[in-house]
Structure 1
Amino acid sequence: MPTKRLFAKVGIVVGFVTAIAGCSQGASIHTSSVQKSVPADTAYVLPPPGGPAIVHVLERGYSNAIQQEISLATDSSVAGQNYFRVKLFGDLDPKEAGDGHTSSRSLALTNIGSEMRSAVRGVAMSKSPYFVQNRYGPFGYGIGRSGNDLCLYGWQNLRSRPALIGNKGSVDIRLRLCGTNATERELLAVMYGYTVNAYLSDSNWNPYGSPPAVPETLGAAGPDVYPVANNEFQTVAPEPTVTPRRVRRVQRQEAPPPPVVEEEPIGPAVPPPPGVSDAPAVPPPPVAEAAH
């Protein structure tokens, strides 16, 4: 009996030590951040060829969307980071979805002013009056100038007409872009040339709608068709440049002395003194004899 009790006590001790060891080896470390860094090649939006380059991508999940903030390279002196901010809305896999809910409504024009001021601090932004459209549809933008820097804030919401089956989901895009000595056309080229590089693997997810039909006038007789116009436009006029005034130095020259004017003698000529002659004496001509 004592031997059985001893073995029982030893077994209890061994089991307790094993349980403690198992608890100390099973824990893993987690961060409290709701965002995570992802590789640049997984960015939901790609800039056009030629840049700006992608330098970093942060991803965050919501219950109804996944958001990425794609940091872009910049040479501007305006405080802040250039970026694309993209949200993909749809029925997400619970493993990919996060906590919280974000609004999928289109941005109201009355709210764009405060959003631009928050994105481009310290720069007075003006909404552009021009109608603009890229291959995904119409978009809006604002322009602001700070010294030699020009800033653009663009917004676009890709959402097709709802249907009973299909055409679900949407894509919401923001662009904050500042550049030194940049023009409005150069900054707008990024809004015209970007590519949406992601989609949801759901047969009902289609924020683009049906492809547009080919225009009936294409290839038929009609008005002239020209390449993209090269007209100049600007929402915000550039600051006037002050050109330093060049002072032309003229070498001072001394005036030439006045010419010497010889005065003509006035009155009868005075004969030279006796014995002085300026010219050899010329003998007088012979006197002709009078005719008899």
Structure 2
Amino acid sequence: MLGTLALASLLGACATTSDAPVSEARIITPADALIIPPPGGPGIVTVASTTFPNAVRQDISLATNARTPGENKISIVRFTAKGGDGSDARLRDIPFTQVNLTEEALAAWPGTGMAVSPYYVQNAYGPFGYAIGKPATGDTCIYAWQRISPTLKPSGAVDRGTINIRLQLCRRGASEQSLLEIMYKLRLNAAVFPPNAAPAAIGRIGIPVRPIGAAGFSEVIPSAPAAAPQPRRTQTVVTTATTPVTVAPPPAGAPIVPSPTGTATGTGPVVPRPPSGNVTIPSPPSSGD
């Protein structure tokens, strides 16, 4: 009888070794938060953590300057094992397809006119969804959700459990893009995915591997930028304009001097040319003594 009781106790102990020790909600330091907001905010005010047999849930309160009533926070549930069936203290892992996320968004920010985004988006951990509201207070509000599916070992056991994330935040005068950017910059404070295997081409014979990245060839010592081509010099040819000389016409009645071409111009009397040959000039008359 004693042996049977001892065996039952041993089996019971083995059955609960995978469960985490349960603890009530307690305030922990921001350094122990499962998820970290991006640099520049929103800042962490408090972190309330609750441990279940198969999961850890944290509500991370965020600082805000919004006027809209409601709680600004990030809620995260990280499962350490499979979800429960609701019959005990183990949390249930409910897929988003079975959750009315629109009602959740409206409940988080009532009276803000939350509208679910029709766009497909994803961050470093996979796809996520979000809704945006713009109340009359001048704030912009976001309610975002993301589920990171679990990974299993070859045996079928859970290697890394499901991670569920919900962000609800309002900011005064913020744009939709700035609020959505927070979802892209959130970082989990734990390893989520196994490291990728190295490419099979590395180390193989006959397959050259060159230092070429997305920006092209990667230089060890970057070359100096090429000098900009100098503009071609042009010579300026100075031309002197010839000013035409205007000869004033002779006055009326002046003798006309024939031009070298023999064409006379003017309106005065024409003086004939002297006859060709020698010209005899008569001597003056002698005077009487």
Q: Normalised by the size of structure 1, how large is the TM-score?
A: 0.54
- SS at structure 2 position matched to 1:34: strand
CA shift digits 1:82-141 (9 cap, x unpaired): 11101110149xxxxxx8222213212751011112222222211101111111111111
Does 1:144 find its partner at 2:133?
Answer: yes
Separation of aligned partners in 1, 2:117 and 2:197: 27
Partner residue in 2 for 1:208: 193
Separation of aligned partners in 1, 2:51 and 2:65: 30
Change (3 A) 1:146 1:90: same
Does 1:156 find its partner at 2:141?
Answer: no
Separation of aligned partners in 1, 2:117 and 2:213: 31
CA contact (8 A) 2:66 2:139 kept: yes
Q: CA RMSD in A?
A: 2.8
Separation of aligned partners in 1, 2:163 and 2:178: 24
Indicate which of 187, 190, 200 corresponds to 1:198.
Answer: 190
CA contact (8 A) 2:56 2:79 kept: yes
- SS at structure 1 position matched to 2:160: coil
Structure 1 counterpart of 2:164, one-letter code? D
- SS at structure 1 position matched to 2:97: coil
CA shift digits 1:203-256 (9 cap, x unpaired): xxxx53563888x997499xxxxxxxxxxxxxxxxxxxxxxxxxxxxxxxxxxx
- Deviating beyond 4 angstroms after TM superposition, the runs of 4 or more aligned structure 1 residues are 216-221
Change (3 A) 1:34 1:149: same
Separation of aligned partners in 2, 1:154 and 1:210: 27
Partner residue in 2 for 1:182: 174
Change (3 A) 1:49 1:169: same
Identity across the alignment (%):
36
Structure 2 counterpart of 1:106, one-letter code? P
CA contact (8 A) 1:86 1:173 kept: yes
Separation of aligned partners in 2, 1:152 and 1:63: 31
CA contact (8 A) 2:150 2:163 kept: no
CA contact (8 A) 1:167 1:208 kept: no
> How does 1:1-292 map onto structure 2 within 5 Å?
34-91=24-81, 100-108=89-97, 111-147=100-136, 148-165=138-155, 167-198=159-190, 208=193, 211=196, 219=214
Separation of aligned partners in 1, 2:146 and 2:35: 13
Q: Normalised by the size of structure 2, how large is the TM-score?
A: 0.54
Higher CA-based Rg: 2
Residue 198 of structure 1, CA deviation: 3.4
Separation of aligned partners in 2, 1:187 and 1:80: 16
Separation of aligned partners in 2, 1:73 and 1:103: 30
- SS at structure 2 position matched to 1:81: coil
Structure 1 counterpart of 2:41, one-letter code? G
Residue 58 of structure 1, CA deviation: 0.6
CA contact (8 A) 1:158 1:208 kept: no
- SS at structure 2 position matched to 1:116: helix
Separation of aligned partners in 1, 2:33 and 2:160: 22
Work out which structure has the larger RCO, using CA pairs closer than 8 Å and 6 or more positions apart in sequence: 1
Change (3 A) 1:131 1:213: farther
CA shift digits 1:60-103 (9 cap, x unpaired): 122211100000001111111211101110149xxxxxx82222
